[in-house]
Amino acid sequence: MRHPVRPVLAGLLVAAALALTGCGSGGGSGGSASDSDAKSAVGGTAREAAGPAGDTAGGGRGTGRAPALTANRIIRTASLTVQVKDVPRALDEARDTADSAGGYVGDETAGRDGAGHERTRVVLRVPTERYDEVLARLQGAGRLLDRTAKAQDVTDQVVDVDSRVASQRASVARVRELMDRAAKLSDVVTLEGELSSREADLEALLARQASLKDRAAMATITLSLTGTPAVRAAHDDPPGFTDALAGGWHAFVTVLRWIALALGAALPFAALAALVAVLWWRIVRRRRTPGGET
């Protein structure tokens, strides 16, 4: 009788132990779930409190990583001086070139230089991807006298400004949240002053961000057009015998003209001197003759 009872008791004990273990495990899981739920609730509350600041910060981080995945931001500028036969026509062609490339005319001035030649200065803004094409067309409009081109990599500046804009937006959002929670008038006044200061800093950063992106997206080309001097020949050929003969004749005529001018200027004085000489000679002659002595 003893042998069958022992296995039964042993089995009951094992079953009870397993039941207790299962209850303990279930209680532990319930505790973990409760902790997770609490943490989730706290995190949700924190996210709700953060509101736009958290979203803005996330957007800022995304913007900060974007330039590393795209092409570098490069500001391209160029300055051209081209000598053309017809300045107005060349200016119209330059405008058409900028328009066809998706750009525009930023500034334009016209006048004449010291020699009386017509000069026009125009600033063109064209997309960076069409910069080389437009530059080649402009310098092919006539005789290229001067060219200066520069390229400045501002990728680091763009990334830095984007990051600072995101941080400043988050800072503004935090101050606004504190203003919503402020109960004292003195706290509200203080927070309003802080908010105005941070919003001003944010606007300055946004302006710099827009300027960098615009200058990187649109290249700047300053084109100076000057007319062909009238004293120069159509081609740069050396002077020949005809040119030398024409130059000599021009010099001879010029000398004769100056001689004639000199004689014309001296003629009244010469006539007066001749008259005085004739009178003096007559007076002297009368004195020498016997009948002329007094």
Inform me whether the pLDDT recorded for 62 exceeds 50: no
Inform me whether the pLDDT recorded for 121 exceeds 70: yes
Q: What is the pLDDT of residues 173-205, one digit of tens each?
A: 999 998 888 888 888 888 889 889 999 999 999
What is the rounded distance in angstroms from the CA atom of residue 279 to the CA atom of residue 294? 18
Q: What is the pLDDT of residues 12-52, one digit of tens each?
A: 444 444 444 444 434 433 333 333 333 333 333 333 333 43
Give the containing element (helix H, strand E) for 236: none
What is the rounded distance in angstroms from the CA atom of residue 22 to the CA atom of residue 7? 22
Rounded to an integer, the average pLDDT of 100-121 is 81
Q: What is the pLDDT of residues 236-289, one digit of tens each?
A: 556 677 777 777 888 888 888 888 888 888 888 888 888 888 888 888 777 776
106, 210, 268 from 218: Cα distances, Å: 11, 12, 74
pTM: 0.47
In the block, residue with structure tokens 């500046």: 157
Residues 6+ apart with CB under 8 A from 247: 239
**Alpha-helix runs per DSSP H in the chain:** 2-50, 52-69, 87-100, 131-139, 155-181, 185-217, 241-288
